[in-house]
Amino acid sequence: MKISHFFLLFAAFFVAACSDDDNPVPDNVLRLDGENVSGPVLVTGEHELAVHFNTNIMADFAGRQLTEIEFFVGETLPANCRVRVYNGGTSAPGTQIYEFDVTNGLQTLRWNKHILATPIDLNGGDLWLSVFVMLNSEQRPIGCDAGPRKDGGDWLFSSTDGQWRTFQARTNESVNWNIRGTVE
Question: pLDDT tens, 82-140?
Answer: 999 999 999 999 999 999 999 999 999 999 999 999 999 999 999 999 999 999 999 99
pLDDT band at 157 (very low <50, low <70, confident <90, very high): very high
Cite the beta strand spans of 13-109 per DSSP E: 29-30, 45-53, 65-73, 80-87, 95-101
| Amino acid code (one letter) for 41 | V
Question: pLDDT tens, 40-91?
Answer: 999 999 999 999 999 999 999 999 999 999 999 999 999 999 999 999 999 9
pLDDT score for 25:
60
pLDDT score for 61:
97
Per domain, the residue ranges of the chain are 26-183
C-alpha Rg value of the chain to the nearest Å:
19
Class of the CATH domain delimited by 26-183: mainly beta
List the beta bridge partners of residue 120. 66
User: Which residue would you say has higher pLDDT here, 16 or 22?
Assistant: 22
Residue-averaged pLDDT of the chain: 89
pLDDT at 37 over 60: yes
Question: pLDDT tens, 20-30?
Answer: 345 566 789 99
Average pLDDT over residues 141-165: 97
Number of Cβ atoms within 10 Å of the Cβ of 169: 11
How far is it, in rounded angstroms, from Cα 155 to Cα 145?
Answer: 14
Prediction pTM value: 0.86
Q: What do you get for the CA distance between the two ends of the chain, in Å?
A: 51
